[in-house]
A and B are shown apart, each in its own frame.
Chain A
Amino acid sequence: MRKIAVSRIQELFAAIAAGQTLYLPVDTKAGAKFEQWESGKQLSSALNTVRSAKDFFFPQTENLMDFRVEGKKIEIIDTRRESEDFVLFGVRACDVRSFTVLDRVFLAEPVDTYYKNRREHGLIMSMSCTRPAETCFCGTFGIDAAEPEGDVVCHMTADTLYLDAKTEKGSALLEGLSALTEDCAAEDEAAVERHRELSHERLSKLPLASLSADRFGADKTDEFFNDPAWKSLSEACLGCGTCTFVCPTCQCYDIQDFDTGHGVKRFRCWDSCMYSDFTKMSAGQPRLTQLERFRQRFMHKLVYYPTNNDGLFSCVGCGRCLSKCPIQMNIVKVMKQLGGKQND
C-alpha cells in the first residue's frame, strides 16, 4: 500500500493525467458528475455521482458503423477506434460491482468488442465510502463499501489518501507514481483499519441496512411471477426510463439506423424495458401492459439475471433509483412487498 497527503492530491491527479485521461467526480450545479480532470478541478465530496460510471464502458449512445451509398454501391465503414487509456478515480464499491454485472453480459460469447475495447483501456481507482447515503443498500448484495473491488483501492482519511493496488494494472500505475507517494508502515495499516471500522459502523446504521435479498435469486420465477403485489407496485409507474438510465447495471440497448441523406449511420442507444416500444417486433410488443414491463425490470434484477449468472444479483444497491424515480417507486419497495416478513 502507498500513501500521499490529501493536501497533495492535485499533484497526484496531475501525475496520473500525464499518462492517460483521468476522470473523477466533480460537483456541478446538477450534482456530482464524472468529468475529465484538468488542473484545478476538485474532487467532489458528494456521496455518489448522479449518473453511474457505466457510461464510460457502455455509453448512452454510440456509432457502430457507417454505410456510404453511391449509386448502387454500398460501402461499409467500420467506425471503431482503439480506445485511449483512461483512469476512473473515485468509483464507489457499488459502481465497481456493476462492471462485473456488465462484464458477464458483454464479455460473454459473442463478445461485444466495442465494450471490451473500452474495458481493457480503463483502469478503476475505487474509493471506500465513509458517508454512505440513506438510500444505500449495497450490503444487501454482499458488497462491502469499506473495501471496494477495483485495480487500485483508495481510502481517504481526513489528511491521507491510501492507495492499495489489487491488480497488475493497478501496481503498474502505482509504480509510475512512486516518486509522489510513500510506502505505508504498520501504523498506516492501522489507520486504514480504523477507517474501515468507521465505515462499517455507519453502514450498519443505515435505514436500509437490514434489507435482505435472501428470498430472491436464481430459479425463483414461479414464486414471484404471479404475485398480486405487482399490480399495486406498478400502478403509478409512468413508464419513463429514469430508473433504467441512472441504473449502473441496466444494459438493454437498441440498434437503429439513421438515414443521413447520403448514407446510413448505425447506432446503438440505451433502451428501457419500461418503454412501450421496447423489443417491438413485427408481431408487436411482448409485454403489453405497464405491469408486465415493470415486473420484467425487477424480476430481471432479482431472479432472471441470477438464474443465468450463478446467483449474482444485477442490483448493486447504489440507491440512484430511490432518489430519481418521479413517482418514488423503486427496487427497495418491491423487495419489501415481495420479500415477505423478513423485510418488514
Chain B
Amino acid sequence: MQVTEYKPLIVAFCCNWCSYAGADLAGNNRLSYPADVKIIRVPCSCRVNPMFILRAFQRGADGVILCGCHPGDCHYTTGNYYTRRRMALLFSMLDYLGIERERTRVEWVSAAEGAKFAATMNDFVAQVAALGENKRLEDLRCKK
C-alpha cells in the first residue's frame, strides 16, 4: 500500500513563563519534535480566548494545544486555574458539536520540562496525524 506522508499542522499556545521556556529548553537540549508545530507565545495560558482556538482551526490548524504553568505555579498566581475551567467547558462543547476531541489538548509544562515539552508535542502530532485533516472546523476560504 502506498503511504503518503501526511503532516498535520499544529498550533501550540505557550505561556511566556513556563511552557515557552520549556520549549526553549527542549531546543537547547536538542530534543526533537516536528517542525509542523507552530508556537504562539502568550503572556499566560488564560490569555487564550476560545476564539483563538477556533481561529487557529479556521486558518488551517489540524490540532490546537495549549500549554501553561502547572496549576499552582502560575506566574500570575491563578491564571491557569481559569484556563483549566474555560478549556474544560470549551473542549466539551466542541465534542458536543461532533468535533473530534483528539484535536484539542491542554498540557501543563514547566520551564524545566524540556523533555516533557518535546514528548508532548511528538505525542500530540501523532494523535492528530492519525485523525487526518481537520474537516469539521475548516474554512474553505483559507485553503490554498
Contact = CB atoms under 8 A, between A and B. Distances in A.
Contacts of B60: 261
Interface residues of B, number: 5
A261 B60 CA distance: 10
B85 interface: no
**Size range of the chain A interface in the assembly:** under 10
B1 interface: no
Interface in A252-270: 258, 260-262, 265
B59 interface: yes
A265 B141 CA distance: 8
A265 B59 CA distance: 14
B138 to A, nearest CB: 12
Contacts of B59: 261
Nearest to A258: B141
Q: Among the interface residues A258, A260, A262, which one has the most CB atoms of the partner chain B within 10 A?
A: A260
Contacts of B144: 262
Contacts of A262: 142, 144
Nearest to A63: B141
A258 B141 CA distance: 9
A258 B144 CA distance: 14
Contacts of A261: 59-60, 142
B19 to A, nearest CB: 25
A261 B143 CA distance: 9
Interface of A: 258, 260-262, 265
Please name the 5 residue pairs, one residue from A and one from B, whose CB atoms are nearest each other, closest first.
A260-B142, A260-B141, A265-B141, A261-B59, A261-B142
Given A260-B141, A261-B60, A262-B144, 6 more contacts: A258-B141, A260-B142, A261-B59, A261-B142, A262-B142, A265-B141
9 contacts: A258-B141, A260-B141, A260-B142, A261-B59, A261-B60, A261-B142, A262-B142, A262-B144, A265-B141
